[in-house]
Structure 1
Amino acid sequence: MQRIVNLLVVKDGKTLLLKKPRRGWYVAPGGKMDAGESIMETAVREFTEETGAKPLDPHLKGVFTMVIRNGEDVVDEWMLYTFVSHDLQGTPLTETVEGELGWHPVGDLNTLPMAEGDRTNLLFASLRSGIQYGTFTYTEEFELLEEKIQMSTEGD
């Protein structure tokens, strides 16, 4: 099972998002874990590689199972770990090979084009305390079929 980590910086009421060129969808910067890497190490490495800036004091905000189905068949499944940081060191790039980076008001997470599970995940990471857990099930075209969410309110 593949492991993916993303990291959302929320600062001054805005979020730093990456607009991916393939679908034009917005995501939090992130990527695949390397062998032997911790989820925290991956979050910092991937964010830094994709933005040119370093997140400060990131912490875990979500753990999700992502399932892709074709009818009743599971065709892909991976784990997503989401981190949040409230500050960064350096100035983020505006464009990279991964896409365009930009600051967006937190409220724009409600309307920007993105996978619906990401919307649920990033809104929670931006606005709520605690940690969110869940499973998002999609079609191969990333149409959300089902969302199961649980939350923990301890810590932040």
Structure 2
Amino acid sequence: MKLNVNGEDRDFDGDPNMPLLWVLRDHLSLSGTKFGCGIAQCGACTVHLNGKAARSCSVLAAEAQGMKITTIEGVSAGHRLLVAWVKHDVPQCGYCQSGQIMQAAALLAEKPKPTDADIDAAMSGNICRCGTYRRIKAAIKDAAGVA
């Protein structure tokens, strides 16, 4: 099957019932998407499917076929969220950060000027074991120009 990942068609000839997370990491060598819980509860594996945030651990490869898949590797280096993440010194251990950024990017694509309530609702499913939630929120607000 063909999967469109970060704007490029990629071949995958493995099990179509394999979670997209493992296709990305183990077969396409895109290790920025992280395994956290495996049950779509932590957000570490968040990617975009057709521009919407999705937990790649719970999406089968076959379900992603024909969709535009964007991983953290597909986010441009100068993206406003990445700039804000650095400015606000968001990451500590960094493990959850690709999922946090992908979730935040989907939020800003849907709501360019989110309220505090919008940010809280969108980010509530992404767990940060270091507890950098205040910095994450500040970075999102900064990136959105609502800080």
**TM-score tier (shorter):** under 0.3
Higher helix share: 2
